[in-house]
Amino acid sequence: MSGRARSRRDDLATQSLLPRAALERIADDALLLPGAALDAAPALLTALQPVIAAAPWRHMLTPGGAHMSVAMSNCGQLGWVSDRRGYRYDAVDPDTGTPWPPMPAVLRAVAERCAALAGFAGFKPDACLVNRYAPGTRLSLHQDRNEQDLLAPVVSVSLGLPVRFLFGGLRRADAVQRLALMHGDVVVWGGRQRLAFHGVAPLADGEHALTGRCRINLTFRKAL
Ligand SMILES: [Mn+2]
Q: How far is the CA of 16 from the centre of ligand 1 (A)?
A: 24
CATH number of the domain at 205, please: 2.60.120.590
Q: How far is the CA of 164 from the centre of ligand 1 (A)?
A: 14
pLDDT for 22: 84
Q: How far is the CA of 74 from the centre of ligand 1 (A)?
A: 14
What backbone torsions phi and psi does residue 115 show, to the nearest 5 degrees?
-60, -45
Asked whether residue 72 is domain-assigned, the answer is yes
pLDDT for 19: 63
Q: What is the 3-state secondary structure of the chain?
A: CCHHHHHHHHHHHHHCCCCCCCCEEEECCEEEECCCCCCCHHHHHHHHHHHHHHCCCECCECCCCCECCCEEEEECCEEEEEECCEEEEECECCCCCCECCCCCHHHHHHHHHHHHHCCCCCCCCCEEEEEEECCCCCEEEECCCCCCCCCCCEEEEEEECCEEEEECCCCCCCCCEEEEECCCCEEEECHHHCCCCEEECCCCCCCECCCECCEEEEEEECCC
Asked whether residue 25 is domain-assigned, the answer is no
pLDDT, one tens digit per residue, over 120-150 is: 999 999 999 999 999 999 999 999 999 998 9
Q: How far is the CA of 211 from the centre of ligand 1 (A)?
A: 21
Asked whether residue 14 is domain-assigned, the answer is no
Q: How far is the CA of 35 from the centre of ligand 1 (A)?
A: 20
pTM higher than the cut 0.75: yes
pLDDT for 21: 72
Which residues fall within 8 angstroms of residue 90, CB to CB, at 6 or more apart? Answer: 78, 79, 81
Q: How far is the CA of 196 from the centre of ligand 1 (A)?
A: 9
Q: How far is the CA of 155 from the centre of ligand 1 (A)?
A: 10
Q: How far is the CA of 76 from the centre of ligand 1 (A)?
A: 17
Asked whether residue 56 is domain-assigned, the answer is yes
CA angle, corner 191, sides to 129 and 109, nearest 5?
45
Asked whether residue 24 is domain-assigned, the answer is no
pLDDT for 14: 61
Domain count, the chain: 1
Residues with CB under 5 A from ligand 1 (ion): 144
Asked whether residue 157 is domain-assigned, the answer is yes
pLDDT for 175: 98
**Which ranges of the chain have pLDDT less than 50?**
1-6, 8-9
Alpha-carbon gap, residue 128 to 117, rounded angstroms: 19
Q: How far is the CA of 193 from the centre of ligand 1 (A)?
A: 12
Range(s) of the domain holding residue 161: 38-221
pLDDT for 54: 98
